[in-house]
Structure formats: structure tokens, C-alpha cells
Amino acid sequence: MTTAYVAGLGPTELLIILAVLVLLFGATKLPELARGSGRALRIFKAETKGLLDDDTPEASKTVEQRELEARQAELDRKQAEIDAERDRLQRPDSA
């Protein structure tokens, strides 16, 4: 019968590592620790994918993204006009 090895560790070593983990963290904390590690890996994976997506050229943007950016630019322009008008109205007249 052949024994399966994980990362060069046999079943005895894996059981010892598991026992040490249970002693260090407690049996109730191990699932929480595993969930936290999984979330961290998912976030890391999403962030690295986002970094790779940021390097794509402007031409690869979808039509919806371009429309949203154009709308945002228009809203920013209108907000600047409103702010300028508000500042003009709040200024005391020097005449």
C-alpha cells in the first residue's frame, strides 16, 4: 500500500501539524481562521485581476463605461457652474 504525501509531508507529520493548530487556536477558531484565509485570498485575487485590467487600453472599454464617463464629466461641469454661481451670489457687492 502506498502512502500519499502532501508537499513532502506524510500522514504522521500532517496529524502533528493539525494537533498543534488545534492546541494553538482551539477547535472553535479553526473554521473562522479558514474562512478568513479564504476571504483574504479571494480579495488578493480580485485585486491582482483589477491591476491587470487597469493596464488594458482605452479601446477595450465597453460602451456603457464610456457613456458613464461622459455623463460624469457633464455632471462635473454642471456642478462647477453651480458652485461658481453660488460663490458669485454669496459675494457682497462692492458697488
Q: What is the pLDDT along the chain (95 residues), one digit of tens a residue?
A: 566 676 788 888 988 988 888 888 887 888 888 888 889 989 888 888 877 766 655 556 788 888 899 999 999 999 999 988 888 888 876 54
Check whether residue 42 and residue 66 sit in a common domain: no
CA angle 58, 64, 67 (to 5 degrees): 80
Contacts of 4 (CB under 8 A, 6+ apart): 11
Check whether residue 67 and residue 33 sit in a common domain: no
Check whether residue 39 and residue 83 sit in a common domain: no
* Full residue range of the structural domain in which residue 82 is found: 61-95
Check whether residue 87 and residue 67 sit in a common domain: yes
Q: Which amino acid is at 21?
A: L
Check whether residue 10 and residue 36 sit in a common domain: yes
Check whether residue 10 and residue 51 sit in a common domain: yes
Tell me the HSE value of 75 on the side-chain side, using a 13 A CA sphere. 6
Contacts of 14 (CB under 8 A, 6+ apart): 6
CA angle 35, 22, 44 (to 5 degrees): 25
Check whether residue 35 and residue 17 sit in a common domain: yes
Q: Which pLDDT score, from 0 to 100, does residue 60 have?
A: 62
Q: Which pLDDT score, from 0 to 100, does residue 57 have?
A: 59
Number of domains in the chain: 2
Check whether residue 72 and residue 47 sit in a common domain: no
Check whether residue 75 and residue 51 sit in a common domain: no
The torsion angle over the Cα atoms of residues 19, 21, 24 and 30, rounded to 10 degrees, is -120
Check whether residue 93 and residue 65 sit in a common domain: yes
